[in-house]
Structure 1
Amino acid sequence: MNKKIILLILLMFFYGPVFAGDAVKDTLPFVNSVKIEILGGKPLRREKLQKMATDMIRFKKGDPFSHERLFASIELLKQTRQFSHIEVPDQDWDAAFTDIVFRLTPSKLVQDIRVKGSFPVFKNEIMDVTDYRVGDPFIENSLEKNINSIKELLKKNGYTHPLVKITPEQAGGLEVAILIDIEKGAFLKISRIEFHGNKSFSDTNLKMKMNSYEPSLFFWSKGKRSIKGEIEKDIKKLLSFYRKKRFAEAVITHHLEKNEQASTIQILFNIDEGPRYRVSFSGNQQFWTRTLKKDLTVFTKGNKNDFGLKKSLKNLKKRYLKAGYMDCNIKYTAKNMMENGTPVREIHILIEENGRNLVRSSSVKGAEPMDEQALKNEILTREKAFLYDGPFVDTIFQDDIKGVENYYRNQGFIDTNVTGDITWDKKNEEGVIYGDVIFFVQQGYQKTIKEVRFQGLPNTLEEEVRQIIGIKPGEPFVESLVQKDRMAILSYLAEKGYIYAKVEAQVTPAKEKENCSIEFHIDKHSKVSVGGVWVFGNFRTKDSVLKRHNTIKENEPVSLNDFVELQKNVRNINIIERANFKALGIQENYDQLFFLVDVEERKPYFFEASLGYDTARDAYLSVSIGDRNFLGMNRELFWDAQISGTGYDTELGIKDFDFMSRYISAQFSVYASKEELKNQGFGSRKYGSKLSFEKDFFQYLKLGTSFNLESREQYQVNSAKGVDPEIYDTRGIAKITPFLTWSTVNSFVKPTKGFYFNASVEYNKDLLEDLDNFIKYRVKAKYYYQAFPRLVLAFQGMYGFIQNMGIDSKLPDDQLFFLGGIKDLRGFGENELIIDSFGDPAGGKEQLAGSVEARIDLGKNFELPIFLDVGSLKDTRSSGINEKFKFTMGTGIRYMTPLGPVGLLYGYKLNPEDGEDRGRFHFSIGYTF
């Protein structure tokens, strides 16, 4: 009783103004006006909140005052989480009319979250354990809770006494920036790892399998940080290793010894290896031993108390039954012995196949009115066919009997009865027993729909509903189709705004048992409309950008499909990191729904830099800086620059990710570059502008076109060739390049499967000279296939061809194709596949090249590549040059980093020219293809 009194007092305190005058007057006043006061916030936010509150409040001028409506209005406003305080002053209950005032204090919003000092624990991990999200309301009383959550996370990552400070700072009127300052302190170091009981494998061998182990390669190594959870993962890895080595009964336990003062921990592993298993088979004529070993779970799941062995025998039995060996027997014998001081358990599995049951024919009797061939397509017990022996499996046979019955029921038949029979021959000399399978069908009678009626549906909607349902008068009655049509009617009504509709189907038998009528009882309820769509959390992005593809229009009927489409459209916006959607009013069954979108924007400003080295460019430095949300319009303003041993390249541009609201990516940029590729006797300078358009089609296809206006100049660099003045004049080139890309590659950092294809046609017109008048065709394809868990096969092929369209058939060297080097034919110097009589690389108008590479995972982030490259250049315009295909092969080593592999490769020439070197080394960051 006391709890009820306290609850009542609290309710009266919260809603005190509502109840203040209840006893004064029996008749409540009418609403003269509804005034909304937004107490704080920036003008744009106040305006948005004012509009939202006006639409949500359940009172309009002239309505009679209602406590229920007031409660409903306050509850809707609370559900938005946009107000920290809602106040409704007391009313004058004696008056005939009253003015209702809502004083709404906007919530403080989290505008930014900055984390300092957490690495190597990432910011996302920190954020996941807190309840802070950019764009969400800031809850002041949750500081201690979030501090403790972060500390707990750091302790799990090995830090013994972390210090965490969370400081909210004002970033605007009602915006807060949260600063999370972390002092991790000393971490718990793994000082020693010991193994006891490991007789078959050395400590070093086992340690190298563990993530918790870090070799002390350098004197400054502090030891591996102890991360909670990694030890359990290491035990699983070690168990998996032992089982693969045939120790099916291996058991591993561990013990931790902590030294709090020294912040160290020792891990002691106790290993009971058990016997090494040796498994053999006999009597298996149908399957190879290698195939049967795949059914043995003892080497993956272990063999505690012989449970794994029993499971393996069941798997073998199941394989034989599926192949038609109904009477096969599988037994085993076990023998324990010692070999060189190591216990061995020898398991011999004896298989008695005892003849194979195959289906010679399969037929259905008693199905005259039906299409027998269509019915047989539903039956899995079949005779021999291409790449199918036709085994008889009893469980499938029993399922087929039920399947035939269901087939007839789906045709409207009632009281169908199906039985099956098999007539077996005697076993022949090959141990095969052929059988004839017959399904006997007593199909019963077929019930037909005489009439379909609708109750509670207007005539205008009834006509449309009759078009979408599958059941029609004169069609067979199928109960599953009736339920399917009931759901179709619900979906149809929901798209018309009747989201609370209920539909029930009633089947009424006719006087004749072969007929029936179906009536759908429909309760539409009220039609639900859209009260409004509001977006919060977009501190910089304009509402017009976020609502550009809004599929939900105010005051129109609610469509759940349009709501799903809206979610997809908002989440596809480039600047949006996260988006949560809410439909307010649906739980209360209101006739208006209010849709709220809480978004988190990506960081707008970016600065990226990389420093590296490869044999194609020597040392290089890349810098990229820009704004991902220029002027809040979801457009990226960027400046990219790269300088290397072969020149420089810089580009300034702007990119629109939704050009003309057509999901087209458009980019305009101006660029300048100077390039002197390795081993070439010329260089080139380029200045120009570029306009490009791209659009994604389906899931993997991208189509696009780029337009370039370019000033280009080729100049001579340390070459013995004669100078052709025309080639070294400044050229003005206009280019149009349509292209196509298809990609299913799963990762561009470390691809393991998928196909990539790119084709382009580049139309060039020289506006100043008659040199760059040609069409350049390019095709490149890549394919990745993971043959085994530790083996990936990578393939690359590329083709290029230049079709000269000008009067002068001679092209400048900087437009020709060159091969050789790290990207295509490893073993050759960069661009040195063909050397002319002057000792300079020669380019051609046609290129063809391909590569095959096996990438073998060695463990511990090391990879062994083995490759074969081939390529040829045609139409090099130089006499006495061998344009035949040239081959190279080689290997090397790569180390996998989080940003990609770093590799040193050596390519060996298989058919070098006279006097040519046999190969060379290449260094690269990232895969060559």
Structure 2
Amino acid sequence: MKQLCDKKQMRLWALILGILFLPYAWVLAADNITVGNDTFFSDGSSAVINDIRVVIDGAPDQQESCAAMAKRLIRLHPGDPINEGTIRTTIEALKLSHRFSAIHVDSISESEGETLTFTLTPYRIIKDIRIQGKYPLFERDILNQMTLYPGDPYTRADLSAQTGAIIERYKREGYIGTQVSVKALRDHGDENTVILVDIDKGPHYVLGTLTFEGNRNVSPNALKWRMRVWRAALVPGIGRFSEYRLKKDLDSLLKYYRRKGFADADLSYRIDDPDNSHQVNVTVQIQEGRRYTVVFEGNRRFWNLTLKKDVVIFTDGNRSNIGVRKSVQNMKDRYREAGFLDARIKAEATDVPGNQADIHRLRFVIQEGPKTVVDAVTIAGNQTLSETEIRKQLLTRPPTIFHDGAFVPETLEEDIYAVTTLYMKQGFQERTVDPDVKFSEDNTGAAVSLKINEGPQTKVRSIAINGLTVLPETAARKVLVHKIGDPFGKAALDAEKEAIASLVSEKGYPHATVNASVNYSEDRTQADIAHDIDPGPLVSLGEIFVSGNLRTTEKVIRRELDVQPQSPLSLRSLHDGQRRLRDLDIFHGVSYRTFGLKEKEETVNL
């Protein structure tokens, strides 16, 4: 093994990233980085960079602009120590530019240090996608099946991936043996690429005969008129048969059967092998199952029409009796919400006397039981908040003109949460609300009592903002939720932290952190709040690189983006610029990436 300490030997790191990058998914995998003899100075030597060279392996008209961009993206400088981390960071920046299809890094050891040579192969950009033979589909239908779009980097591997989805789309329309050719043509006068999609649809299937098996209660004509594939076949010359639409038709027929009461219905189909005339004969196989009729017994509180809304077998079916069980549960929930806590519902299926055995009557036998009504709600232990304020939070209450007074345990739980939240907002951090319910002997009445232990009310005595150097303290105090003398709340404290951090971040400190601490008095009636701010490093916006714009000038994009290099980095401004570009409604998509933000660099490229 050659010794790395020998400064005169040439070290080839073989950092060949001959990666055909996807347009939007950029991942730097360790397997794509190989090293010549040893892995980044494993012997512990501390090599430094002597010089950096950039070679563009592309057309002459690309070399100057690509080289200038690469030099701005390479975050290495003569005199910097060289290691695996710095190389990987630089490669990631070059990849994020969406400009280079291959990155090759060589290192030559010299007495003054390492000379790095970056050999970069520029992408060819897709300038346009031209589609021939698309009828009867629209161009948008074809583009929606493709993973390429004008402005994307071109890679040869992407071409073969386009044909399958397009062929499948035409197959859905009923075409047989569709042939799709996707070629890349270099546009005259530049290095961009035009994608040519040539479609030969081929012949299409037509419907021959449509027959039904097992339909004892619905006539074939009634079924045919509900099928789109059959109606399309009535139009001479243009009626294409599509298996995709056949499946949609069967879904529609299944819903039709269920609406007619056949909750156990099941439909399938068989397509006979087409002959040379491309006619297909379709047989729809139907298992109608039992036909259900629904009756309710014992229901006095709700009408039959109301309870029928809870029966799902006519919409969801009844496979493995799941539909019946779900219907029973829905009705139990309805009764419980009305105060019938002990309602019992049983479903029974019986043959209808004098009719065929496959017609069943589904009988829901209901024992409603007593309705539990709130007799009274008493509140005890409240000293600071009035009983009126507390009652406004309660949905559990005795009957009134517009309220039936039904007692529902779940509603009481929500009421307890509402009262607890009310106290918390008023600064009672140690409050407790304990409910107690006493039922009458016949369970028709419920007496509800709420026992409240307020605990001390904590109010804000002082608010300190420490470490704020990037903007006036008055600006930060404007976003505070708490004021001196206000009740203290933890939720308000968290909101203040976020608001202050956002203010500081917009001044060019995206790594700002705010740590909030609270000191309570001995009796916990007063709280001193301190917001300690660490702004982190000042970050400036560096270079702005734009890619994918073939028809829109970069000037227009920069104008709408409305951010300037060397200005303090504002993530909100970047989001606003992205929104303005999307609002132009002329782009397929607008996305941006920041390089250097995660690494906490002082300058972040966009």
Q: Which runs of 5+ in 1 are unaligned?
A: 1-7, 596-929
Counterpart Cα distance in 1 of 2:160 and 2:149: 17
- Asked whether the 8 Å contact 2:394–2:415 carries over to 1, the reply is yes
**Secondary structure of 2:160's partner?**
helix
**Secondary structure of 1:345's partner?**
strand
> Aligned residue for 2:28?
none
- Asked whether the 8 Å contact 2:15–2:105 carries over to 1, the reply is no
> Aligned residue for 1:542?
553
Summarize deviations over 1:593-635 as a string: whole Å, max 9, x none: 322xxxxxxxxxxxxxxxxxxxxxxxxxxxxxxxxxxxxxxxx
- Alignment partner of 1:442 is 2:453: yes
Counterpart Cα distance in 2 of 1:184 and 1:321: 60
- Alignment partner of 1:344 is 2:363: no
**Secondary structure of 2:590's partner?**
strand
Task: Give the drift of 1:181.
Answer: 0.6
Task: Give the drift of 1:134.
Answer: 0.3
The correspondence of residues 495-644 of structure 1 with structure 2, limited to 5 A, is 495-508=506-519, 510-520=521-531, 522-595=533-606
> Aligned residue for 2:100?
83
Task: Give the drift of 1:202.
Answer: 1.3
Task: Give the drift of 1:237.
Answer: 1.6
Summarize deviations over 1:238-297 as a string: whole Å, max 9, x none: 221111111122222333433375544443332221222221224433332222211111
Task: Give the drift of 1:309.
Answer: 1.8
Identify the structure with the greater helix proportion. 2
Summarize deviations over 1:367-396 as a string: whole Å, max 9, x none: 221143333222221344564333221211
Task: Give the drift of 1:231.
Answer: 3.8
What one-letter code is carried by the residue in structure 2 that aligns with 1:487? E
> Aligned residue for 2:286?
271
- Alignment partner of 1:94 is 2:127: no
> Aligned residue for 1:73?
90
**Secondary structure of 1:469's partner?**
coil
The correspondence of residues 15-54 of structure 1 with structure 2, limited to 5 A, is 28=48, 39-40=58-59, 49=66, 52-54=69-71
Summarize deviations over 1:122-157 as a string: whole Å, max 9, x none: 433433343321011110233333334433444454
From 306, 322, 327, give the equivalent of 1:291: 306
> Aligned residue for 2:324?
309
- Alignment partner of 1:490 is 2:501: yes
Would the alpha carbon gap of residues 217 and 398 (structure 1) be closer, same or farther in structure 2, given more than 3 Å must change? closer
- Alignment partner of 1:55 is 2:49: no
- Asked whether the 8 Å contact 1:30–1:65 carries over to 2, the reply is no
> Aligned residue for 1:778?
none
- More off after superposition, 62-71 vs 9-18: 9-18
Would the alpha carbon gap of residues 375 and 180 (structure 1) be closer, same or farther in structure 2, given more than 3 Å must change? same
Task: Give the drift of 1:474.
Answer: 4.6
From 110, 126, 130, give the equivalent of 2:146: 130
Task: Give the drift of 1:300.
Answer: 0.8
TM-score, scaled relative to structure 1: 0.55
Would the alpha carbon gap of residues 576 and 148 (structure 1) be closer, same or farther in structure 2, given more than 3 Å must change? closer
Task: Give the drift of 1:302.
Answer: 1.4
**Secondary structure of 2:496's partner?**
helix
- Asked whether the 8 Å contact 1:533–1:552 carries over to 2, the reply is no
Task: Give the drift of 1:227.
Answer: 3.5
Summarize deviations over 1:782-811 as a string: whole Å, max 9, x none: xxxxxxxxxxxxxxxxxxxxxxxxxxxxxx
Counterpart Cα distance in 1 of 2:397 and 2:80: 75
Would the alpha carbon gap of residues 276 and 532 (structure 1) be closer, same or farther in structure 2, given more than 3 Å must change? same
Summarize deviations over 1:379-425 as a string: whole Å, max 9, x none: 22134456433322121113322332333233332443322345667
The correspondence of residues 469-868 of structure 1 with structure 2, limited to 5 A, is 469-472=480-483, 474-508=485-519, 510-520=521-531, 522-595=533-606
From 209, 220, 224, give the equivalent of 1:192: 209
From 371, 381, 384, give the equivalent of 1:369: 384
- Alignment partner of 1:206 is 2:223: yes
Would the alpha carbon gap of residues 19 and 462 (structure 1) be closer, same or farther in structure 2, given more than 3 Å must change? farther
**Secondary structure of 2:591's partner?**
strand
> Aligned residue for 1:142?
158
- Asked whether the 8 Å contact 2:229–2:246 carries over to 1, the reply is yes
Counterpart Cα distance in 2 of 1:561 and 1:26: 41
- Alignment partner of 1:245 is 2:260: yes
What one-letter code is carried by the residue in structure 1 that aligns with 2:98? R
Task: Give the drift of 1:461.
Answer: 5.9
- Asked whether the 8 Å contact 2:56–2:66 carries over to 1, the reply is no
- Alignment partner of 1:234 is 2:249: yes
> Aligned residue for 1:166?
182
What one-letter code is carried by the residue in structure 1 that aligns with 2:590? A
- Alignment partner of 1:175 is 2:192: yes
What one-letter code is carried by the residue in structure 2 that aligns with 1:348? R
Q: Which runs of 5+ in 2 are unaligned?
A: 1-11, 18-32
> Aligned residue for 1:840?
none
Would the alpha carbon gap of residues 521 and 221 (structure 1) be closer, same or farther in structure 2, given more than 3 Å must change? same
Counterpart Cα distance in 2 of 1:181 and 1:396: 64
Counterpart Cα distance in 1 of 2:36 and 2:434: 76
- Asked whether the 8 Å contact 1:214–1:224 carries over to 2, the reply is no
> Aligned residue for 1:397?
412
From 401, 426, 446, give the equivalent of 1:411: 426
Task: Give the drift of 1:76.
Answer: 0.9
Q: State the percentage of identical aligned residues.
A: 28
Q: Which has the higher contact order (CA 8 A, sep 6+)?
A: 2
**Secondary structure of 2:451's partner?**
strand
**Secondary structure of 1:581's partner?**
coil
Task: Give the drift of 1:66.
Answer: 4.2
**Secondary structure of 1:565's partner?**
helix
Counterpart Cα distance in 2 of 1:553 and 1:130: 35
> Aligned residue for 1:108?
124
Would the alpha carbon gap of residues 276 and 69 (structure 1) be closer, same or farther in structure 2, given more than 3 Å must change? closer
What one-letter code is carried by the residue in structure 1 that aligns with 2:59? G
Counterpart Cα distance in 2 of 1:369 and 1:514: 13
Counterpart Cα distance in 2 of 1:232 and 1:210: 10
Would the alpha carbon gap of residues 336 and 538 (structure 1) be closer, same or farther in structure 2, given more than 3 Å must change? same
Would the alpha carbon gap of residues 158 and 82 (structure 1) be closer, same or farther in structure 2, given more than 3 Å must change? same
- Alignment partner of 1:257 is 2:272: yes
**Secondary structure of 1:306's partner?**
helix
Task: Give the drift of 1:442.
Answer: 1.6
> RMSD of the TM alignment (CA)?
3.8
- Asked whether the 8 Å contact 1:197–1:272 carries over to 2, the reply is yes
Task: Give the drift of 1:588.
Answer: 3.9
- Asked whether the 8 Å contact 2:347–2:364 carries over to 1, the reply is yes
What one-letter code is carried by the residue in structure 2 that aligns with 1:236? D
- Asked whether the 8 Å contact 1:416–1:442 carries over to 2, the reply is yes
What one-letter code is carried by the residue in structure 2 that aligns with 1:569? R
Counterpart Cα distance in 2 of 1:313 and 1:558: 60
Task: Give the drift of 1:108.
Answer: 0.9
> Aligned residue for 1:873?
none
TM-score, scaled relative to structure 2: 0.82
Counterpart Cα distance in 2 of 1:402 and 1:540: 57
Counterpart Cα distance in 1 of 2:287 and 2:73: 69
Would the alpha carbon gap of residues 517 and 191 (structure 1) be closer, same or farther in structure 2, given more than 3 Å must change? farther
> Aligned residue for 1:832?
none
Would the alpha carbon gap of residues 385 and 53 (structure 1) be closer, same or farther in structure 2, given more than 3 Å must change? farther
